[in-house]
Homo-oligomer: A and B are copies of this chain.
């Protein structure tokens, strides 16, 4: 069912050697390729036929859902709306991701709009990787949206990664946190050549004792450009932190604009940002251990994005 190209893309974006264990939904070129559910995890197409609804029963633990998307059809821009309903007290991992293979001069793209409703006390880990490859010159776009609603005491850990090969990305992450909930976001974006990536993040701390920690790591190689925007709005006693680190290589450029809105006397918001080249002393140290300049740079970048 999976050809060699499909397997290569699935390996890159979802770490899969073949069809995964447990619940999954694999989408290829805008259509369902294969799907499996489990006793606790239901997956069905939504009423409009524009995506899937993944429903995870309350109390489900140690289970995962894989929902990768692969795309290799010239000229296709695939848009999908997926909903995740995570029952109270569940603790699950969702692995998404999109791999594009472009073989022609026609553009190819994907926009996945993912909405998460995380029930009281539930935990979700969401892992999303974006990757594009292929000999074609067509523009590869990946424009993901995540909307996260955390009920009281819920937790979400989001790992959002753009590995490489993506010419254009317009990324949007939104989150609303109720009391005592926790959001951790780690976004890593690597661009090169003339690629462009924009990341917009809007986090609302609505409930008392909610906490959010957003970390962004960017590497701009070649003539690539990245824009990072993140807003934390604090409406209760809460804690929010944004950390943006960007490494500029070659002629890359970066614009970083965090926004801290403290609208409650017991809000605590912090931010740190650092944009610059790789520190020379780091490079020297690795080169004194025998690495070439290029190897030292690669080692540092890999560590930074890990």
**Residues of A that sit less than 8 Å from B by CB:** 246, 248-277
Q: Contact at A250–B265, with CB atoms within 8 Å? A: yes
* Majority secondary structure of chain A interface residues (helix, strand, loop or mixed): strand
Q: Contact at A268–B259, with CB atoms within 8 Å? A: no
Q: What are 13 A-B pairs at a CB distance below 8 A?
A: A248-B267, A249-B265, A254-B260, A255-B262, A257-B257, A258-B258, A258-B271, A267-B275, A268-B277, A270-B272, A270-B275, A270-B276, A272-B273
Q: Contact at A259–B262, with CB atoms within 8 Å? A: no
- Bound Cα distance from A145 to B263, whole angstroms: 27
Residue of B nearest to A227 (CB): B261
CB distance from A278 to the nearest CB of B (A): 11
B contact residues around A266 at 8 Å (CB): 277
CB distance from A29 to the nearest CB of B (A): 38
B contact residues around A270 at 8 Å (CB): 272-276
- Bound Cα distance from A24 to B252, whole angstroms: 49
Q: Contact at B256–A259, with CB atoms within 8 Å? A: yes
B contact residues around A275 at 8 Å (CB): 260, 262, 267-270
